[in-house]
Amino acid sequence: EVQLVESGGDLVQPGGSLRLSCAASGFTFSSYWMSWVRQAPGKGLEWVANIKQDGSERYYVDSVKGRFTISRDNAKNFLYLQMNSLRAEDTAMYYCASRWVASTATDFWGQGTLVTVSS
Amino acid sequence: DIQMTQSPSSLSASVGDRVTITCRASQGIRNDLGWYQQKPGKAPKRLIYATSSLQSGVPSRFSGSGSGTEFTLTISSLQPEDFATYYCLQYNTYPYTFGQGTKLEIK
């Protein structure tokens, strides 16, 4: 069974840091691009970041560039999002996802982990 | 960035109705467009990729069309489980951008 399980979401003060993790199982993690997508409470979806299979290419939405870093550990089947200098507008449910864009195969999503940035 | 303008933002319809949702891109995106369904408290689910290719397992009442800058998602005969929020996504150019969403409600 395919699973993507996010963790690491928490309440953090503005300016703080957090690292999200996404544990992948049931598919060949190292074969696919991976993504983070977020959704602020009551709002729409926003793509956050992509990372290539070997980590050699990474892309970010402008609002997180220089503050967030996407990474992966193919040996452990984990995806990460290091979030620094957090702002109130980063408050959202964060989903990890695979095969969700151009792939002809079934998309995979986690259940999400909630990040709240507030003093 | 490419802006995706989705309409309508909300839609009230009945079971059995045919509904169409539109997304307009601020510049040409070829056919690099997907459609996603999201139910409350759940992760999104992909319905359509490459404008008109149906995700495996998605009912055939869902279809997509368009090219360039104008795209549509059509549900040919609404079923109770289709009441949800729908989003388009362009993945032609980074940053990927979603439409604002269309909330489909029961009339």
Pick from A44, A95, A107: CB nearest B46:
A107
Closest chain B residue to the Cα of A39, Cα to Cα: B43
Strands (E), chain A: 3-7, 11-12, 18-25, 34-39, 45-51, 58-60, 68-73, 78-83, 92-98, 108-109, 113-117
- One-letter amino acid identity for A49? A
- One-letter amino acid identity for A62? D
Tens digit of each residue's pLDDT (9 = 90 or more) over B35-57: 999 999 999 999 999 999 999 99
Tens digit of each residue's pLDDT (9 = 90 or more) over A16-70: 999 999 999 999 999 999 999 999 999 999 999 999 999 999 999 999 999 999 9
